[in-house]
Amino acid sequence: MNLITWVAILGLLLGTIAPAWAQNPDSDERIQALERQLAAQRAMIAEQQAALESMQSELNQLKSERTTAPDDDSDHVSLSDEDTGAAVEENSALTISGFVNLDMIYDFDRVAPEYEATLVPTTIPTVPGQYGTDGNFIVSIKQSRLAFLSEMDTPWGAASAFIDFDLFGTGSDAGRTAFNFRNAWFELGRWGAGQTWSTFMDISTWPNVYDWWGPSAMALNRNPQLRYTVPLDDRGSRWAVALEKQNGSFNVGIFDEIAPGLADSLRPKTELPDLVAHWRTERDWGHVQLAGVARHLTVESVDTEDWDVERSEFGWGFNLTGILNVGERDQVKFGLTYGEGIASFMNDGGGSNLVPRLGASQVQATPMKSLGYMLYYDHYWNDEWSSSIGLSQNDNELTNLQLMNEPNKVTYASANLFYTPSSYFLTGVEALYGELETADGSSGSDFRIQFVTRYSFAHSLGAR
């Protein structure tokens, strides 16, 4: 409504709610005056309503003429930029989400400084005082995260794309608060491409643990991949197959000491992507997922004339995971992983895909055997209070040519209590324990208490 209409309505309201004490003593004259004012206001409103209806009709006609083809060629469709934009807006949506996170940690022991804001068992020292005296207080915002989700209808079906990152610097940025790229993934129908959680793993079994690193023996990594998924029912059962980046690794072992020239020249080589598949069944009692991987692992020598080495080995592994529902909300989450040459799939198993082994007459590169398991129980005391407790452990079968400080057994355990008054806010405390045992029998442990407070958000633009 325009300004004139609003003035008319306001005048009508003021006229009808005038207090009785302000009336003219001559009630008949006052009644007649009010009736004349009321008739005038009604006439003005009717006039404005007619004008509005006329303008709306003209506007609809103009829109209709603008989208009508200029000729009779039915095969030709012409849309203006404005029309195209409107179509995209009506059939697409962008969601911006994430959380702001603060960790306040007291470490009763010590870990490597680059990863002190989380518990990574392989960074626990086995030599007392290696990273300083016991006791360290850490404050970190590195877990804070930002994500973008785009959804759109296309001629080939529904499409979606997802990108997110946090601030937990890794690699060359380890120890810094820096952008840490996580996922860049899109799906169109049954196809998916980009970087996301490996098809070998089951991210839904991540327990309610708020430490950034999480259970060490859980199969957990994000790989660039091309995936094809076939749904089996409307509950979420499916099978999927993918070609994934290999993330090859080779441990030179004692050659770093006895033959540094050879050690410096040896590199992992990727000749073929990993072939990964999983099958998953969803039921009222929970779900089970079984995944397998086949790998072509290769090591070669480079930048040297003294050594000419290239050797390929077959790597394989399976990952059995699942969730068992207990009562109304509680869940038991489990995982069992075993294979040869699958170290790069483990969250913090230590070791490498290929390791040196002394054969009958020569040194060989062989896939390292790894066994990992995880068992956690998520419990909800009520709608606002929850806890999680569990254990994860990884065992590596080391060879006779590996260094004595190589991880042999890695243990991770935690328990917590969290308060979640709404979907936007949570706070709580978590106790964490880690232990590292190396090839020579040395060991080290770490115990810490972590206070977490987090504000989550999600905002959508547009609607499909």
- H or E element at residue 4: helix 3-16
pLDDT the model gives residue 171? 84
Residue 361 pLDDT > 90, yes or no? no
Question: What does the pLDDT read at residue 68?
Answer: 41
Whether the per-residue pLDDT at 5 is higher than 80: the answer is no
Residue 404 tokens, joined? 């004595």
Higher per-residue confidence, 96 vs 83: 96
Please measure the distance between the N-terminal and C-terminal CA atoms of the chain and give it in whole angstroms.
29
Higher pLDDT, 31 or 320: 320
3-state secondary structure of 419: strand
Average pLDDT over residues 106-116: 95
Q: Does the pLDDT at position 150 exceed 90?
A: yes
Tokens linked to 328:
């109304």
Residue 440: predicted pLDDT: 85
Encode 409-420: b = buried (16+ Cβ within 10 Å), e = exposed: bbbbbbbbebeb
Distances (CA, A) of 124 to 27, 43, 251: 95, 85, 20
Give the contacts of 4 (CB within 8 A, at least 6 positions apart). 44, 48
Per-residue pLDDT band at 78 (split at 50, 70, 90): very low
Residue bearing tokens 């309610």: 208
Q: How do residues 290-318 score in pLDDT, each as one tens digit?
A: 999 999 988 877 765 544 455 788 999 99
Whether the per-residue pLDDT at 22 is higher than 70: the answer is no
Q: What's the per-residue H, E or C state across 81-138?
A: HHHHHHHHHHCEEEEEEEEEEEEEEEECCCCCHHHCCCCCHHHCCCCCCCCCCCCEEE
**Pairing between β-strand 92-107 and β-strand 157-168 as defined by DSSP bridges:** unpaired
Rounded CA separation 211/115 (Å): 12
What whole-number percentage of the chain has pLDDT above 90? 58
pLDDT band at 399 (very low <50, low <70, confident <90, very high): confident
Fold topology of 92-461: Porin (2.40.160)
70 confidence band (pLDDT: 50, 70, 90):
very low
pLDDT confidence of residue 46: 56
| Residues 399 and 354 sit within 8 Å (Cβ to Cβ) | no
Number of neighbouring beta carbons within 10 Å of residue 32:
11
pLDDT band at 461 (very low <50, low <70, confident <90, very high): confident
Q: How far is CA 263 from the centre of its chain?
A: 37
The pLDDT value given to residue 352: 80
- pLDDT per position as a tens digit, 403-450: 677 888 999 999 999 999 999 999 999 999 999 999 888 999 999 999
d(CA 219, CA 338) in angstroms, rounded, equals 10
Q: Evaluate whether 100 touches 454 at the Cβ level (below 8 Å).
A: yes
Contact 142, 454 (CB under 8 A): no
Quick one: DSSP state of residue 171?
G
